[in-house]
Structure 1
């Protein structure tokens, strides 16, 4: 029994999580229990737990992970201020009169919201409350409607910016450095979040394309499943379409453009996104709109001008032009600050900022508590010999490096039926990815393959989170069975998308190679 204590520990973890007890406490509790069990049986050195304090300090001082609460706040502001709702309504009226048009609009809106919020729960709930009733009223099959809404909502996990990619970048960078140390390299390279954002962009668009092709083909072959919407519903004007689409697109360019262009770190870009979402949300509420719009323009001008002509006023050799530019920059910053205060005034008056802050703190606490607990779990698992067992097992699988990857992908997919992406990312992946990198797999390509797999975990019954989110927001006529059956074709499309990236690795490696 003592030889298999690490495997029993993993089985106990799955059982504890399935009881419904809070995940972070389940992980930490199982770790503590098996640490003392291993110590009593003489198979683990309990002093290894002394390294837990270093892991906690490493987590709270990790500059990359600071981006998570900022991106979560950005998405929460867009959701609570109903900007996402306006986008859904406008796109639905624009495409609804086509066969399968509502499905197309939901997929496109899902992609836009994914690139501007990155929060699966908010997107699925918003579309479940707004788009799903519209699709049902138009005569859409409940299974098709539920499947499209669930799947479009999960795009926030693969299209940057996303919390999954931030966590995965940290995990893969650590695994890559560990693999280099084991190869005898002492000058090691690290991987950045920006590289993973760039790598995920094209595969994310490939998945969007696959969804759109499926909706169009199904609309043509089975028109009774996706009939056109009510023709009496007015099509939106060009001004309405631009008013709904342009602000999220500007936010996407501000965040992703600053990261991929090398102008800002992911944390700095997340701060830009949070301020941008704050201004957008404040402007939507009507009061002080001109001040807020002027502030947004001033901040954009400030960012561009400071990048083109930077001024350092503490230097003693500045000319008159530098002083004029510095004064202009100060004026633009003051206008921007005034607009931020006006936006905050609007959001506080309508209690939008209260709801967004509560949502942000809840989700951030869940993610970081899980990462902390996983640090304890991995320490104990390593102390019980689990890491050596996994490395030996992967290295000796038939099929070499490809066989090891396929088996890992199958295990991650199976775990997605029961575990959340955070738990899989911070517990399972640190154990297997160093060995897979040592076997010769490109770490960035490997990370994107795993990201697509983890995105699928949101759709797989019985515990896919998107299924739960939609179940809570869907009308009564949509049953759990409709939701489960509706996502099955899209799970198959996820497998096709993973296969495309598997056979054409350049889809994931070309853009980061060019940009970084």
Structure 2
């Protein structure tokens, strides 16, 4: 009976979220009602202890710090400088501007980890330029939307911080394991753009010689150094301190937040107005994440109290599924869920349910964390509710149609799925760097 109630709870919450009810209040509200009916008033005491334990988790302090870092870098103007310089450096190549967008997207991902800020910034700066220079709408929008989501997999990533907390694995180890997959994914994006622009040069024309020569005449070296040194210093400070074992991810996030503020001061973009906007947005996003966390804690407590996790584990055991078959089933479920609900919802609803089963099957949870991060990245890209598409559509010129956005993103979704399969077949992609650093 209790197991049946657990499945009803899970199904009811999932359906209500799909219908459009707010996730935080749906997760928390329905779970508290179930908990009160099944366990009585003592449930509130248990829930308060669990929430306090979650909120006192030092690792989660990295979330607001990384969000602040990303928002402050958006104000610094570094993205604009990077894109402008990179596009002129690669301007002679077919698809050079699109290649620049991917590289800058990767650098911003390694500096911020905030998808919304990256997509909006690159959409405002590069989309009008790409369209003006004759790029096809599909290639331009697909490149920007997909490059903006690299912050989901390239550390430091808020997604990896949340996954580390839910899976109960080291966030630093997840960051280390994600670096090589992130580099490979960037390389696959670049390979697609090079092949596409070679086969169809009209979709990605090079810059004119006049623009290139004008750039080279006016202090080219100074511009290059100014555009690249500051972001590299920040990336080195944040990721270098984690990989070298000098700082924990939370401490490195604090370094990044301070570094982003100093970079904004150096760029002459720091002001009380900007600081106020950054702090307001950081507070808004952090509050959203943590109120969902509270709801997820209530759900997890009730679901496990009703024996839902035990029921699922026994069902999997009776079905005699191999670990690979179960992984494939979960990845498919996460991918389909990504069409309809946000990555935070998936992390807090689906992952806590399947994590104990992965542990029971003896699967490496760090590897699972990277698989989930890559899969969740596609939730930002998949129509009709891909948030990256929403962000880009919001800042795109009126002539860019939703259908063009959807068509443009399809090749990148295919790349994501092929890459996901590659990590499943060759887990060494994830485990190689952590093993090397341990030696």
Give TM class, smaller chain. over 0.9
In structure 1, the partner of 2:299 is: 377
* Change in CA separation of 1:2 and 1:52 when aligned onto 2, cut-off 3 Å: closer
Deviation at 1:2, TM superposition (A): 7.8
Residue deviations 1:398-440, cap 9 Å, x none? 5411111110111111111122111211221111122112212
Q: Does structure 1 residue 444 correspond to structure 2 residue 366?
A: yes
2:180 to 187, 202, 206: 202
1:18 matched to which residue of 2?
18
**What is residue 304 of structure 1 aligned with on the other side?**
none
* 1:14 Cα offset (Å): 2.9
How far apart are the structure 2 equivalents of 1:512 and 1:273?
A: 22
1:107-128 CA distance string (max 9 Å, x none): 0000000000100000000111
User: What whole-Å deviation, never above 9, does each CA across 1:150-181 have from its counterpart, x for those lacking one?
Assistant: 100000010000100111111222xxxxxxxx
Partner of 2:56: 61
Distance 2:240 2:372 in 1: 24
Matches within 5 A, 1:251-290: 251-285=234-268
> What RMSD, in angstroms, separates the aligned Cα atoms of the two structures?
1.9
Task: Select 1:347's aligned residue among 252, 259, 271.
Answer: 271
**Alignment equivalent of 2:152, drawn from 150, 157, 171:** 157
For residues 93 and 20 of structure 1, the distance between their equivalents in structure 2, rounded to whole angstroms, comes to 45
Tell whether 2:215 aligns with 1:235.
yes
Whole-angstrom CA distance in 1 between matches of 2:380 and 2:314: 30
Gapped runs of 5+ residues in structure 2? none
Cα displacement (A) at 1:395:
2.9
Q: 2:403 aligns with which of 467, 481, 498?
A: 481
State whether structure 2 residue 129 is matched by structure 1 residue 146: no
| Contact 2:96–2:206 (8 Å) recurs in 1 | yes
Q: Is the 8 A contact 1:14 1:418 kept in 2?
A: no
User: Per-residue deviation at 1:195?
Assistant: 0.6
2:101 alignment partner in structure 1: 106
| Aligned equivalent of 2:198 | 220
Correspondent of 1:420 among 334, 339, 342? 342
Shift of 1:46: 6.2
Structure 2 Cα separation of the partners of residues 13 and 399 of structure 1: 26
* Corresponding residue number in structure 2 for 1:291: none
Residues 200, 508 of structure 1: 8 Å contact kept = yes
Larger radius of gyration: 1
The TM-score with structure 1 as length reference comes to: 0.80
| 1:440-497 Cα deviation digits (max 9, x unpaired) | 2112111111111111111111111111111111111111111111111111101111
Q: CA–CA distance in 1 between the matches of 2:359 and 2:232? A: 36
Q: Does 1:124 align with 2:119?
A: yes
Within the candidate set 314, 321, 324, 1:402 is matched to 324
In structure 2, how many angstroms separate the alpha carbons of the residues matched to 1:347 and 1:35? 48
Q: Is this contact kept in 1: 2:3–2:311, CA < 8 A?
A: no
> What is the TM-score with the length of structure 2 in the denominator?
0.94
Unaligned runs of 5+ in 1: 174-190, 287-345
The residue that corresponds to 1:367 in the other structure is 289
Equivalent-residue separation in structure 2 for 1:3 and 1:57 (angstroms): 27
